[in-house]
Structure 1
């Protein structure tokens, strides 16, 4: 294959990989996929040692030379902060190994169910990064061709030490013409059950909207804190995407949002995130958004959430608790952000005749009922509300 010469500068020797993985020690395995096992190891390079990931081709899983070279050609040509970096490769007899930058936190699917380790704000940043990476593939600059990934899923979104999202696993990708509104390719439907565009599965028509559907499934996984499918006795027993769609349409999102996540959310952030996730998984391709629009909406969702997070840094938590504990009827709360949400919306305190709220500057406002301002037929000017609070405005 003459094109191999274009990539010779990326090739390394098997002895270097054997040394880095301690001869493919099972203890060095950090993942498994449709391509084969993934090992972690420190590769010695002229510029110094570096931690990397080695993906060893195992043809028993159905992938082979085509997927191997497709990965090399795609990742050597398309470089972006939110795409995994291919560093080297090795071919030694029947052995074919790809060498990537090491994403120390592993794949997104590992963190879906943990609302504390990966907060709503972190999840939004991860989603924004992954969306930017996919947008780069769908809408390339200059003369590059459009890349359709074909296997977008949370297991293929890797995370580095800074929680930066990196799209990975391009062995199944397809390339189409650039700078066209629509790209349609006829191919056998390939992907992962649950994530695969139903129209692609049924008709074999692949388009960039097929990736959009898969990405929408990932967004719902992030929101719901679980994978989109369920196995029972080793067999696929349930795919949840239809249920998630119905819950959105019937305004029953609270039933599926991961416990512990809702308390962290700004309502506007949730609204914009869930709306774009729902649009992505619509059955009709024409109703699905472009990746450009998805990036914009996710960035807006993140901005709203960060505004709430910044407000949380400005206010006195003890004072917030004191105010909310006066609420009538009483309210229960968990996370700090939930206190802020209650007060941004406003609530009655004491005897139900005083309304307390805060604004995005952290300023507390108190509105008194007219009945509290009069004693008999005389205006009562003293403060009859809750105990004094800093930055309090009394509107009479």
Structure 2
């Protein structure tokens, strides 16, 4: 399995996060822009509706003022009419706005037709007010400039003042004027429908684009959420779970499982190597601390611990004390080097003769002790035979070393009339053997 590096995963996650973050930033910017476009189209639609209403209102206002001027002959209505054209200009302003917003589109054509009819209506209305001006003003110098510039037909100019008012009323209520008015109204309605449809189309397009962009934004957020979950899973699998395993291994005193990210696997491998080396070192240190350096038998410290454990326990055992006979003479005669070899030979023979579960210990210079486990006093002869076998081997050497023998004292944990301790009782049995000629095995008898 290919090892995955935390550094590699971090770089990949960083790049992906930056990429998604940048993408979301761009989408968010586009989403904001499209939302603004949508708002603009909504505002444009409202302004379009308002402009068309202003056009209609301006045209109706002019018609109303002309009608009232004709009916009442009051100059103020002409003044209101001219003020609307000169200053207020609702119709013109609305037309300018719509031309600016929708110029160049097919939706503007009905508006242009309505404007053309409005111009014809105003020509009619100015002519009507020219007729009424002769009725209302005796002095032509008081006429507004727009009115003075209009010439009457010869037929209308020859009419009397009352006839001129009737002629004005006739034109205002005549079929031609009504046709112009009707056509203009129809084209304004048509413009309203066309321009309204245009703005609705733009609005629908903006809505569609906004929905698409917003969907992309939601998708990006979903991907980001999935990425965060994936990061959590990766961190758990590559880092957190292995660290939890390492913690449990430390508590249990075990090696680390080689799992997780490459760096953690390398850490686990290094730790396990050090752990194994420490085990070997500890085993060696423990062995050196518990064993005699010369014979590799257990030393006095280990013997004391083992004996204490068995003395406090319920398991039956035998305490066997061993001395190498006249060992001082061997050392004096053959030297310490030969003496050391004999001690090693004694330990090897004892190890070979007794069981692996028994404890062979060197507790002094030429003194050995054996804790023979799971035995009782009924096995005296077995112990005697084992010691005899060792003495037979030591008394008939084939390795060039001088012959030696062992004096052995034995005390069983189930002995009758035990003394202060099993060690002392075994030592008493040994003393008795040594005083009886050595090279033998004796038992404590109370």
Q: TM-score range by the shorter chain?
A: under 0.3
Higher relative contact order (CA 8 A, sep 6+): 2
In the superposition, the TM-score normalised over structure 2's length comes to 0.16
**Structure with the larger helix share:** 2
Larger Rg: 2
**Structure with the larger strand share:** 1
In the superposition, the TM-score normalised over structure 1's length comes to 0.17
